[in-house]
Amino acid sequence: MGKRQRVLIDIEKQAGSLIQEIPAKGVRIETVMAGKTVMNTPLLERNTPIYQMLDHSFDISFCTDSVIGDFLFYPIPEFAIFAVDSEGGCMGTIGGCGGLEDDRYAVGYVSGAKGYKVAGSIKDFLEMAIYYPCWREVARCIRQNLPYSITNLLEAYEESHPQTEQDRKQLSKQLSLSHNPRSMDLLAVCLKKQDDFLVYASRQEAEDTNLFRS
């Protein structure tokens, strides 16, 4: 077998999102799409109760008119942003654009220039988010190796968001979501496996350690 070399294609500058491998002079070239896309939800759909509940009770505001320029970081591989939150963070699928019924793409969370994988699919993410809306704080504690109590964090969140339980029931029914008692364990596993999702402050920073196709 020849040498293997990874070359990145910036989807922010080039159309398409096909990942392919091209052999060249004994070197196996793996081309990988990198950069951001934004999956905006139509405004009329965004105003439906499902999106309102996700926003008001779980701090997941689906994008409606966002553009790539709103997000300064640079991800590898492709990161399809579908929602933002009140903390300035954003959520998206890693490696391509996925939906609720699509389990091909994991979900990542980016805040500032720091990003990490948080769930194996959009469905896993939503189940975690509505049953454990304190997941952001849990993730911070895990990443900083700080002690925490899921029970205490959950109680504190629900005290400050009184509609949580009612909206949780509605969302579970309408989106066919269920409580997964292992959601926090799966979050911890995701946080320990970050080599396949890298976030840089800018493309220029990414160019320092990665090869881009011109």
The 10s digit of each residue's pLDDT in 31-89 is: 899 999 999 998 788 789 999 999 999 999 999 999 999 999 999 999 999 999 999 99
Highest mean pLDDT among 1-5, 38-42, 180-184: 180-184
Q: Decide if pLDDT at 20 tops 50.
A: no
Q: Give the model's pLDDT for residue 214.
A: 66
Residue 211 belongs to some domain of the structure: no
Residue 9 belongs to some domain of the structure: no
Cα Rg for the chain, rounded, in angstroms?
18
Residue 13 belongs to some domain of the structure: no
Look over the chain and give the mean of its residue pLDDT values, rounded to a whole number.
90
- What does the pLDDT average to over 144-160? 97
DSSP state at residue 212: B
**What domain range is 117 assigned to?**
36-194
State the total domains in the chain: 1
Enumerate residues 6+ apart whose C-beta is below 8 A from 87. Answer: 59, 111, 136
Chain-centre distance for alpha carbon 143: 16
Residue 212 belongs to some domain of the structure: no
Q: Give the model's pLDDT for residue 109.
A: 98
Query: Where are any strands of DSSP class E within 60-211?
Result: 61-62, 74-76, 79-84, 89-94, 107-111, 114-119, 198-200
Residue 203 belongs to some domain of the structure: no
Q: Decide if pLDDT at 2 tops 80.
A: no
Q: Residues 39, 97: contact at Cβ < 8 Å?
A: yes
| Model confidence, pTM | 0.89
Would residue 83 be called left, alpha or beta, if left means φ above 0 and alpha means ψ between -120 and 50 degrees?
beta
Least confident of 13-17, 48-52, 200-204: 13-17
159-171 confidence digits (pLDDT tens): 999 999 999 999 9
